[in-house]
Structure 1
Amino acid sequence: MANGANAAILYRPEGFETTGPRLMGRQAAGEGFLKGFVQHADVDRLYCYTPRREQAEHFQAAVKGNGNTRPVQWLNELDPNSPAQAGTLYLPDPSISLHAWRRRHLDQRGYSIVGVTHTTASAGAMDWISGLQLSPAQEWDALICTSTVVKQTVDFVLDAQAEFLGARFGATWFPRPQLPIIPLGIDTARFTPDEAARAQSRAALNIGADDIVVLFVGRLSFHAKAHPLPMYLGLERVARAMPGRKIHLLQAGWFANDFIGNAFKTGAATFCPSVHCGFVDGRNAEARHQAWAAADIFTSLSDNIQETYGLAPVEAMAAGLPSVVTDWNGYRDTIRDGIDGIRVPTIMPPPGWAEDLADRHAHQIDNYDHYCGFTSQFVAVDPEACAAAYMRLAGDPALRRQMGAAARERAVARFDWRVVIDQYQQLWAELAERRRSAPESVPRKAGQPVQPTRADPYQAFAGYATATLGANDMIELAPGATAAVFDGVTGSSLIAFAKAVNPPAAEMHRTLERLKDGGRTVAELAQEWPEDTRTVRSRSLLWLAKMGLVRIRKN
């Protein structure tokens, strides 16, 4: 059961809403997670980790729309230690390494960092995963793998990186974060079967009561999601074998461009002319709901390495539909073959047969879309096995009801956000225990940069200037320097951009006022400032000198 463990949610509106022109799986997962967290998390407040107030306000509005009545606390992302207030920083992606470097500014035991996988095939995702071996990620961090096969891929990347580092540098210890397998969740109540809605939807779509409706939901992309040819060929064989029954194929999704749209529509007309094919705008929530309600069978024949989990099959389970899916990555963890649906075997080349494709992508000869598309072309999905699966379900209403009921029961028990959020909170609590006792990897030493490749520029480029400002250097007011002169100088567009990294104008005014009584050393001025502001305020003395408002006399 949940135990109150909480997390600050790294928030970017684009990653948590599905109202944009492009509907991606990670956005649907983000939107679902936020709603699930609001409705099921055992916490007394919500934490939003973001750099701008307007984004925090967007977060507050979003969670209020999901029924939140608890306080919402904004943790400013400009402070890398602020997630310590929550205990965990939750990332909607695998970028743990990026945030582990930031955490190293202060206390690496301050909080845990938990990311989640979506696609693992992109260069960015691969770099984030491999970066876990090159960053100060800790044992009390975690990368949630959404399926068994995703964890195998993550382990493969980390093992390969470790082997390389060991061979090159003789390294023998390769700490890594926890890699729990936790599925993505859905709101199963939204998909509860409704006979009245079924009748209305079929009537609206001009589908007869005895017609068979096969539904695909997802991006309509033959190169980056699922090639439709096995589906078209398999359903055409069913339609020809059952001439007395109308077979409908509803494809609910969206096309990235007109070329892809025309390819799908032409392909459907060419390869399954006996099937009544319809396309539904899957970005429209009402249209999606209508499609789910009208369907008899769900299908998704994924053959693409970017597909790691697949929310649509889980939604189909919640809708009480039997499925015909490929035996592919996350589908293997969700659809039980012969119980909730039928999994069609897939065959891919053995290791070593596509190093040329990896090389073309690594050197940007092929972009990510082409890389995924070319890779998927050599994954075989047998149209005859697809046809047999469709035929079995289309011809047996009792089997459809049996599998649909089993699927619905499993979805509620295993994949509802109520269950998944509880697993998240249990993980966060476990990581908190690890923070208390696990050995710390690469503790920071005094004078050592937080991140070697992103060091303090005045440390990395220390030899550039004639001298550096010292504690005993004397700061004197320049002739004629006043607060009014300061305001006039900083009002210039040549100067104003530096306001973002300087103390507020009122504080600068006080510094100038303090110097009216005579020069002060840097150390003397710093003693009058709060300790946590001394670095930024001392640095601003050089900016005042650059503007001609103070003079620096080296001692």
Structure 2
Amino acid sequence: MDAAIYFHPEAYTTTGPKLMGRNAAGESFLRGYLAYAKATRFWAVIQDPAHLRAFEATARAAGRAEPVTAVTNATLGNLARPGTLYHPAPGLGEHAWRRAAYGHHAWSLCGITHTTASATAMDAIAELLTAPVAPWDALICTSSAVRENVGRVIQAQADHLAARLGIRRVVLPQLPVIPLGVHTRDFAFSGDQRQASRAALGVAPDDLVALFVGRLSFHAKAHPLAMYQALEKAAQGLPPGHGVTLVECGWHANAAIAAAFAEAAAAACPSVRVVTLDGRVPENRRTAWAGADVFCSLSDNVQETFGITPVEAMAAGLPVVVSDWDGYRDTVRHDEDGFRVPTLMPEAGLGGGLALRHALGVDTYDQYCGHLCMLTAVDTQATAQAFSRLFASPELRRRMGESGRRRAREVFDWSAIIPRYEALWAQQAELRAAKDQDGPKPPHPWPARMDPFSAFAGYPTGRLGPGTMLGPAGGDVEETLRRVAGCRKLAMVAYAEALFPTEEETRAILDRAASEPAPASELVGFAPRQRRAFLLRALPWLVKLGALTVRS
């Protein structure tokens, strides 16, 4: 099943200065798509010719020899050929409006959620009720928790529209739950690699290594205090001669945040040795994964939606300790692949003021997420117990690690995920084909971008239509043609050359008008049917140049 990929290089790379979750997810998806897609041709929707070259280079590097075809805004109708546009974000509304000009059945749209907490994401979800999305469109939700969140926003918007406009019917896209994927082979490490990594980390033979991978952001990712406190309790229970090293592999946004992490670790887990690695460096990530004994991610932030790092940890054969939070609940099986520890947040109805401060710009998005995080609790005692059980039992670590590794390979490897994407796209195509085709095309398929000659119809004295009578403005045809040809060369005219009839068409129009005034439809009647509307639109230009005049 072919699909067109909306492609901007920045969205599919982790080599930029900031390693965001959406970048990692985009890069991993594209690599997986090129590895496992059954496409016969690749389609890239681009805004810049350089982006096509980047897509082609990526495809060729992945060993794909199939042709690559670009789709631009000027050739948007060509999306009907692949039949599906995949956009790596939740904003389907803009693409649905653009599609409206070609007919709602022209192709399907498929988006995906990343964070749903930002104003942009929430607006995009709410817009699904007013934009011309269709049942053959889809917004992939990466976890069941995200799907519930999306449903809540949609229902709130539907309630608003029902109260304000009395709507009784809504048309929504599908909301399938498909997780993000990983390349499990990237996380297979040998015994020698493990030993080398532990040596690089300076870990003693009997020490235990806990690992966190991800952005080191206490306000927008995972607040580390619960992890620090739990590790300290677990470390205190170890036999003499056994220590704990915590590896934090990620990046701090600035020096102040780095200092805040160091201060908190020193205060909350003084018995734990903390090593910080720059996670933007691939070799550092490999060292971290290969050298760890246990993975931990206690996400408590609404900015998170799926959480790819626990799945990567499972692929690496590590037992995991995670918060019972959003997508972690779908990926990590409690007491099988590791432990999910309880989380707690205030009941509904107590956060309206926080939402309003964010909406009005009093608080930034980072402040909004950070404030919510501070009011969300992770069970530190349960986390400490999970660490203690894993630290005390190599057999438990081995069993849970192997269970997670099998699950990652069978469920979350891109070889399993890409077929689910292709099955979704095929289903969307079937729905589109089975549904009755659009009836009469609405006069204004995109109301906010309507035909300007309709939108501004009240501006002119009159409007030129098929029945408007036109005659020569004076002089013979040859003289008029020379004058028109001269005007066409003027800089203030030539910039719009694409709007003008050809010289041959101009001659045919003027020849017909020379004999006697005639309706505009007759003046352009010589042209092929598909060309007549273009010529009819151009007739005011000939009036503008003084070649024709309106007759009563």
The normalised TM-score by structure 1 is 0.90
* C-alpha deviation, 1:253, in angstroms: 1.0
> In the alignment, which residue of structure 2 is the partner of 1:369?
366
Larger Rg: 2
Matched, 1:458 2:453: yes
Matched, 1:449 2:451: no
Matching residue within 264, 268, 282 for 1:267 = 264
1:114-133 mapped onto 2 (5 Å cutoff): 114-133=110-129
Superposition RMSD in Å:
2.7
Matched, 1:143 2:139: yes
Aligned length: 539
Alpha-carbon distance change, 118 to 470 in structure 1, aligned in 2, over 3 angstroms: same
Paired amino acid for 1:448: P
> In the alignment, which residue of structure 2 is the partner of 1:69?
65
Distance 1:49 1:156 in 2: 31
Structure 1 unmatched ranges of 5 or more = none
414-423 vs 390-399, which deviates more? 390-399
> In the alignment, which residue of structure 1 is the partner of 2:35?
39
Distance 2:522 2:303 in 1: 59
For residues 155-186 of structure 1, give each alpha carbon's deviation from its aligned partner in whole angstroms, at most 9, with x where no partner exists.
11222222222233332221211111111111
- Secondary structure in 2 aligned to 1:393? helix
Matching residue within 4, 8, 11 for 1:8 = 4
* C-alpha deviation, 1:513, in angstroms: 7.4
- Secondary structure in 2 aligned to 1:171? coil
> In the alignment, which residue of structure 1 is the partner of 2:103?
107
> In the alignment, which residue of structure 1 is the partner of 2:491?
489
* C-alpha deviation, 1:66, in angstroms: 2.1
> In the alignment, which residue of structure 2 is the partner of 1:334?
331
For residues 59-79 of structure 1, give each alpha carbon's deviation from its aligned partner in whole angstroms, at most 9, with x where no partner exists.
111222222111111122333
Alpha-carbon distance change, 392 to 170 in structure 1, aligned in 2, over 3 angstroms: same
* C-alpha deviation, 1:225, in angstroms: 0.6
- Secondary structure in 2 aligned to 1:9? strand
> In the alignment, which residue of structure 1 is the partner of 2:85?
89
> In the alignment, which residue of structure 2 is the partner of 1:470?
465
Distance 2:392 2:350 in 1: 40
* C-alpha deviation, 1:378, in angstroms: 0.6
The normalised TM-score by structure 2 is 0.90
> In the alignment, which residue of structure 2 is the partner of 1:284?
281
Matching residue within 173, 177, 188 for 1:192 = 188
- Secondary structure in 2 aligned to 1:79? helix
For residues 372-392 of structure 1, give each alpha carbon's deviation from its aligned partner in whole angstroms, at most 9, with x where no partner exists.
111111101122222111111
Alpha-carbon distance change, 539 to 158 in structure 1, aligned in 2, over 3 angstroms: same
Contact 1:234 1:383 in 2 (8 A): yes
> In the alignment, which residue of structure 1 is the partner of 2:391?
394
Contact 2:182 2:414 in 1 (8 A): yes
Distance 1:481 1:212 in 2: 88
> In the alignment, which residue of structure 2 is the partner of 1:426?
423
Structure 2 unmatched ranges of 5 or more = 474-478
> In the alignment, which residue of structure 2 is the partner of 1:213?
209
Distance 2:472 2:324 in 1: 72
Alpha-carbon distance change, 346 to 536 in structure 1, aligned in 2, over 3 angstroms: farther
- Secondary structure in 1 aligned to 2:212? strand
Contact 2:217 2:253 in 1 (8 A): yes
Matching residue within 155, 161, 176 for 1:159 = 155
Alpha-carbon distance change, 245 to 235 in structure 1, aligned in 2, over 3 angstroms: same
> In the alignment, which residue of structure 1 is the partner of 2:319?
322
Contact 2:226 2:380 in 1 (8 A): yes
Distance 2:286 2:197 in 1: 9
* C-alpha deviation, 1:351, in angstroms: 0.5
> In the alignment, which residue of structure 2 is the partner of 1:256?
253
Contact 1:129 1:157 in 2 (8 A): yes
